[in-house]
Amino acid sequence: MEYIVYEQKGQVGVITISREKALNALNSQVLDELNECLDAVNLDEVRALVLTGAGQKSFVAGADIGEMSTLTKAEGEAFGKKGNDVFRKLETFPVPVIAAINGFALGGGCEISMSCDIRICSDNAVFGQPEVGLGITPGFGGTQRLARIVGVGMAKQMIYTGRNIKAADALRIGLVNEVYSAEVDAEGNVVKTAQEVLLAAAEKMAVTIAKNAPIAVRNCKKAINDGLDLDMDQAIVLEEKLFGDCFETEDQKYGMAFFLDKNKEKVKEPFKNC
């Protein structure tokens, strides 16, 4: 693959969109490779994913404007579908996906981060949906996901004005969960860049998720995602079903037996995913 780097670190998979010269903008090839990469993730081993961009400047600066500029209506639709299919694959991916946003997350970049379960960013991150300034609407789910994450009023303000917001504001409105800065020593020298601190934090969070019972984590993702589209009565039934599915698994039996065991010397074994 030319633009996607994938590394499996134990039970965590790290996907890096690596098209630094164009600030990791999403062209058709990036989308195809990302799709292929997701299909190849070894779900027998991987329990959480981290998605990030190469370099310290940009997570993803949007869909590729050069490629889009000459599209016909039909090609525009096909491009939109390609993006939406892979974003939806990320959103419904069986294991949680953490977006580690290291710089610009504009247009399709903001949208791909919103297809992930959790967003954390570096303090130089910039978010926005600038599409109306280009004569188009957000086309990779921005009008839908932004409103669901930050509320209708704030989403409308961001989308209608097309104005970017900085990391601190993204934190304030709930678009990201955490903001990370560079680590400096007493003399003010940078010991770790914000991007390094961010990636370490994302991987640490992924490891924490990966240590929990995998069937339960997957079912939580499904319950939250699918439940949001239902009314409360139906959503509770869905939760009951996914809760019930955890019983009789080895992980449920082991997790509860471990708690009930009064031998405090005993060390908890890793969950087995069965």
Burial degree of 149 (CB within 10 A; 0-12, 13-18, 19+): middle
Residue in 14, 130, 206, 215 binding ligand DAK, rule: CB under 6 A: 130
Q: Which of 36, 75, 131, 178 is catalytic?
A: 131
Considering only residues 69 through 108, tell me which ones interact with ligand DAK, judged by CB under 6 A: 76, 79-80, 83, 104, 106-108
**Residue 40 or 78 with smaller CB distance to ligand DAK:** 78
Cβ at position 214, least distance to ligand DAK in Å: 33
> Can you tell me which of 33, 117, 131, 251 binds ligand DAK, judged by CB under 6 A?
131
CB of residue 272 vs ligand DAK: minimum separation in angstroms? 41
Give the nearer residue to ligand DAK in terms of CB position, either 11 or 115. 115
Candidate list 15, 23, 150, 155; residue touching ligand DAK; CB under 6 A = 23
What does the chain come to in residues? Answer: 274
Choice among 33, 111, 203, 239 that is catalytic? 111
Residue 57 makes CB contacts below 8 A (sequence gap 6+) with 20, 23, 102, 103, 104, 124
Q: Is 75 a catalytic residue?
A: no
**Tokens encoding 20:** 């630094």
CB of 164 vs ligand DAK, minimal distance in Å: 8
Q: Is 67 one of the annotated active-site residues of the chain?
A: no
Q: Smallest distance from the beta carbon of 174 to ligand DAK, in angstroms?
A: 22
User: Which range in 59-67, 178-186, 229-237, 242-250 contacts ligand DAK by CB under 6 A?
Assistant: 59-67
Strand 97-101 relative to strand 118-122: parallel, antiparallel, unpaired? parallel
Identify the H or E element spanning 138. Answer: none
Return d(Cα 170, Cα 168) in angstroms, integer. 5
**Vertex 110, ends 104 and 111: CA angle to 5°?**
150
Specify the residue, 25 or 182, whose C-beta has the smaller distance to ligand DAK. Answer: 25
Size of the site for ligand DAK (CB under 6 A): 23
What are the CA-CA distances from residue 181 to residues 136, 164, 201, 257 (Å)?
34, 20, 11, 41
- Give the footprint of ligand DAK on residues 132-151 (CB under 6 A): 134, 136, 139-140
Q: Strands (DSSP E) along 35-128, which ranges? A: 48-53, 58-60, 97-101, 104-106, 118-122, 126-128
Q: Which stretch binds ligand DAK (CB under 6 A): 19-27, 46-54, 190-198, 253-261?
A: 19-27
Residue linked to tokens 């599209």: 71
**Amino acid symbol at 67:** E
Q: What is the spatial distance between Cα 273 and Cα 65, in angstroms, rounded to a whole number?
A: 43
Using CB under 6 A as the binding rule, the residues of this chain from 225 to 264 that contact ligand DAK are: none
What is the contact surface with ligand DAK in residues (CB under 6 A)?
A: 22-23, 25, 61-66, 76, 79-80, 83, 104, 106-108, 130-131, 134, 136, 139-140
Residues annotated as catalytic are: 111, 131
